[in-house]
Amino acid sequence: MKNTTMKNSTKWIATAATAVAIFFSANVKAQTVDKSAWRLGVGVEGLLPTGNLHDVSNVGIGGTARLQYGIDKNVALMLTSGYYNYFGKTVSDATGDIKYPSFGLVPVKAGIKAFVSDGIYLSGEVGAGFETKDVYARADGSKDTKLILAPGIGWANKTWDVGARYENFSGQGNSYGTVGLRIAYGFSL
């Protein structure tokens, strides 16, 4: 378990360093934006669990809302929240079939989006994930709050935003992740 955590930490550091290098070395081009600095996007999320979460679920779906404020024509601050539902899977072992319950999580994240080319952006988010069910059957029924770190890449125009990211949820001795694809409709406020 310790080696897996160390390997995941190394991957995160390498990913973050690469994203920063790309951000600062890229020839930044102007994004096509409208006059409003404030935007709201409503999205649908396709989710593939990784790590320990893959033990109890193969797939998830979510819905999110993102408030965005453009601080520059190429940089925006983001606040994202919503709900993720990971569908429980059935696992067979020597004693029979085990059906895991669905697992829910409410993410609350703040981040930054930087356009590195016409419509193409890199993003980074940090926040908290609030578990809504105790899928690991703790004796006290407690649910964890996880630290979220999420680097991503995507494409956006005045109306649509399509992004892919990896989210790492860590804390309380049980870390897991998800690969997410978000398709969102956005508009100026």
Q: Hey, where are the domains in the chain?
A: 2-188
CA torsion sign, 5 to 153 to 49 to 42? positive
What's residue 119's pLDDT? 94
What's residue 140's pLDDT? 66
What's residue 64's pLDDT? 98
What's residue 141's pLDDT? 64
CATH class of 2-188: mainly beta
What's residue 139's pLDDT? 62
What's residue 174's pLDDT? 83
Query: Tens-of-pLDDT digits for all 189 residues of the chain?
Result: 444 444 554 455 555 545 444 444 443 444 444 446 999 999 999 999 999 899 989 999 999 999 999 999 899 999 999 999 999 999 888 888 988 889 899 999 999 999 999 999 999 999 999 998 766 555 666 688 999 999 999 999 999 999 999 999 998 888 899 999 999 999 999
Q: What residue spans of the chain are helical by DSSP H? A: 2-25
Rounded Cα gap, residues 155 and 138, in angstroms: 41
What's residue 31's pLDDT? 43
Residue where the block lists tokens 């550091």 = 13
What's residue 178's pLDDT? 97
Q: Judge whether 107 and 84 are in contact, CB under 8 Å.
A: yes
Q: Judge whether 60 and 89 are in contact, CB under 8 Å.
A: no
What's residue 135's pLDDT? 61
Helix (H/G/I), strand (E/B), else coil: 10: helix
Q: Kind and range of the H or E element at 106?
A: strand 103-117
What's residue 13's pLDDT? 52
Q: Judge whether 39 and 186 are in contact, CB under 8 Å.
A: yes
What's residue 26's pLDDT? 43
- For 139, residues 6+ apart whose C-beta sits below 8 A from its C-beta are none
